[in-house]
Amino acid sequence: MTATTPEPLTSDDDWWRSAVVYQVYVRSFADANGDGVGDIPGIRERLPYLRDLGVDALWLTPFYTSPQIDAGYDVADYRDVDPLFGSLTDFDAMITDAHALGLRIIVDLVPNHTSSAHPWFTAALAAAPGSPERARYLFADGRGETGELPPNDWESIFGGPAWTRLPDGQWYMHLFDPAQPDLNWRHPEVRAEFEDVLRFWLDRGVDGFRIDVAHGMIKAEGLPDVGFNSMTTGQRQSELLGKGRLPYFDQDEVHEIYRAWRPILDSYPGGRMAVAEAWAETPQRLARYIGADELHQAFSFDFLDATWSADSFRKVIDTALAESTIVGAPTTWVLSNHDRQRHVTRYGDGEVGLRRARAAALLMLALPGAAYVYQGEELGLPEVLDLPDELRQDPSFLRTGESRDGCRVPIPWSGELAPYGFGPEGSELSWLPAPATWRGLSVAAQTGVPGSTLELYRAALRARHEHPALAGTAGGVVWLETEPGVLAFSRAAGPAVLTCVVNLSGAEVTIDGYGQPVVASADLTERGEGHVLPVDAAAWFERR
């Protein structure tokens, strides 16, 4: 432990069960040094904003030493901060301040692959085929007469073959970019290294880990073919994510890794946790990642694919709640993250999309379990759809034409001109440009403005903490009879009942009998004994 190691927050070991976790996409959150890229001192300066917003924890995307080929998901040194984002001293100061404000810190762990600039990989490249240095990764000879064909038909998630050939003839495997070689998790040194990395960050006071590609570390023995890929049948293997079996995902042996990690997490005080970014064929298989001897949570990504309809949302909620019942752990809700189009845009963009996104926020925040809020959704930010191609940086863009840059545009904080206070006073730099339409969406433009999306999130988060039926893990979901296209459920704690109603019906509806409104995503008008809930709106009502 270092002298500056902060004390963990110890009040509640089960904090993660009902936490609202704010995802900080570090390079786009706040830029303290004016180089146009967000950094850790920038996060530190903005901690009071997050405390006032009412979230419980922050998940920071990777800030480790990295060539930044995949925005930091290509790690060259797991125990240091990239100078682009600051230093370990900055990290320690940030976590100390966060804890002092009651905010927990979750960091991203990237164990499936390293950067090609990692010393292990450079040593592997310098060493001969069959050498111990190569054994830490997945090197193989090719097929064909002279080994000119990749060892199997596996495809990179970013498009193209999952294999790259070296001048000496061998191939190495990468499920993502060629700059992200996959590790061989059957190698004891790899396992020991990551157990040590976990301890390194736990010693520095982190409260948890988000595990990147948590389902990917073990590949099927013998590296068997999938049987098809975009080259042969036109179907991309990644289309099976979350729906089918692939020899490089969700292998049974991967659970051994988490069974070794859990005692490490449990040996630290204060409820240290881990959440899996995992994709599995069935809810039952996904549930295997969670439990008292493995990880605490696995993201439920179903909301990301839900369309704006009562049936679609109801199905997502019922499935996720059933999944969590299987393992006896609470679920997690995600409307947006740094890999998907922002939900304002998914729901129709413009005013309609914003109205729906605000309603979806009230739906998500009324549900039991943990909610993950992606930075900027509290401002109602849409996807930026018209970024010039030459500015796009996502490595998958070049390979597939699909780019995740539009949801990664820096946060607008204040001011009249882009980048809207992203950097220090007077700084005009930002690694991606914010559109002119974001002026009215900045934090400053929305603070204290009744009805703004920011104030809606603040009010909802306050009520979520304070209302007995929403606080903690109280109150399961009880669905109520409604008109078609309207979702309504209650949660109760003793006599206190909170009812969330979402109107996806396309026509206004009158809500009566659920008590007084607590928070609403659009203006409610009184009608008789009840209230009119407009189209694409949601509201919470309470009875005590």
Q: Which residues pair with 374 in a beta bridge?
A: 23
For the four alpha carbons of 144, 150, 154 and 160, in that order, the dihedral sign comes to: negative
Smallest distance, Å, CB 108 to ligand NOJ? 8
CB atoms within 10 A of CB 483: 12
Q: What are phi and psi of 522, to 5 degrees?
A: -145, 165
Smallest distance, Å, CB 321 to ligand NOJ? 24
Q: Give, for 519, the enclosing helix (H) or strand (E).
A: strand 516-520
Nearer to ligand NOJ, 51 or 236 (CB): 236
State which amino acid sits at residue 59.
W
Smallest distance, Å, CB 448 to ligand NOJ? 34
Smallest distance, Å, CB 110 to ligand NOJ? 6
What CA–CA distance (Å, rounded) separates 310 from 345? 18
The label of the residue with tokens 């690694």 reads 431
Among the listed residues 182, 212, 294, 323, the single catalytic one is: 212
Could you give the string, one character per residue 74-113, with x where binding to ligand NOJ holds by CB under 6 A and - elsewhere? Answer: ------------------------------------x---
Smallest distance, Å, CB 337 to ligand NOJ? 7
CB atoms within 10 A of CB 359: 29
330 and 273 Cβ atoms separated by less than 8 Å: no
Nearer to ligand NOJ, 338 or 356 (CB): 338
Nearer to ligand NOJ, 181 or 468 (CB): 181
Query: CB neighbours of 505 closer than 8 A, spacing ≥ 6?
Result: 310, 483, 484, 485, 486, 535
Figure out which of the listed residues 64, 154, 171, 176 binds ligand NOJ, where binding follows CB under 6 A. 176
Nearer to ligand NOJ, 257 or 502 (CB): 257
Figure out which of the listed residues 77, 133, 256, 339 binds ligand NOJ, where binding follows CB under 6 A. 339
What CA–CA distance (Å, rounded) separates 157 from 91? 31
Helix (H, G, I), strand (E, B) or coil at 307: coil
* The pairing of beta strand 273-276 with beta strand 297-298: parallel
| Touching ligand NOJ, residues 258-287 (CB under 6 A) | 277
Among the listed residues 74, 250, 277, 405, the single catalytic one is: 277
State which amino acid sits at residue 282.
T
Figure out which of the listed residues 22, 25, 63, 73 binds ligand NOJ, where binding follows CB under 6 A. 73
Figure out which of the listed residues 31, 70, 182, 302 binds ligand NOJ, where binding follows CB under 6 A. 70
Smallest distance, Å, CB 404 to ligand NOJ? 7
Could you give the string, one character per residue 190-219, with x where binding to ligand NOJ holds by CB under 6 A and - elsewhere? Answer: ----------------------xx------
Smallest distance, Å, CB 378 to ligand NOJ? 20
In the structure encoding, which two tokens stand for residue 380, read together? 């109602």
Is 239 catalytic? The answer is: no
Of 37, 119, 41, the C-alpha closest to 75 is 119
Is residue 481 packed enough to be buried (19+ CB in 10 Å), middle (13-18) or exposed (0-12)? Answer: exposed
In the structure encoding, which two tokens stand for residue 146, read together? 């002279």
Smallest distance, Å, CB 180 to ligand NOJ? 6
Q: Give, for 125, the enclosing helix (H) or strand (E).
A: helix 119-126
| Cβ-closest position to ligand NOJ | 73
301 part of the interface to ligand NOJ, by CB under 6 A: no
Residues binding ligand NOJ: number (CB under 6 A): 9
Nearer to ligand NOJ, 342 or 355 (CB): 342
Nearer to ligand NOJ, 70 or 377 (CB): 70
| Touching ligand NOJ, residues 109-138 (CB under 6 A) | 110
What is the DSSP code string of 54-123?
A: T-SEEEEPP-EE---TTTT-S-SEEEEE-TTT--HHHHHHHHHHHHHTT-EEEEEE--SB--TTSHHHHH
Look up residue 435 and give its DSSP letter.
P
Nearer to ligand NOJ, 51 or 399 (CB): 399
Smallest distance, Å, CB 237 to ligand NOJ? 15
What is the DSSP code string of 24-57?
A: E-GGGT--SSSSSS--HHHHHHHHHHHHHHT-SE
Nearer to ligand NOJ, 134 or 404 (CB): 404
Nearer to ligand NOJ, 396 or 452 (CB): 396
Is 97 catalytic? The answer is: no
Q: Give, for 338, the enclosing helix (H) or strand (E).
A: none
250 part of the interface to ligand NOJ, by CB under 6 A: no
Residues tagged active-site: 212, 277
By CB under 6 A, name the binding residues for ligand NOJ: 70, 73, 110, 176, 212-213, 277, 338-339
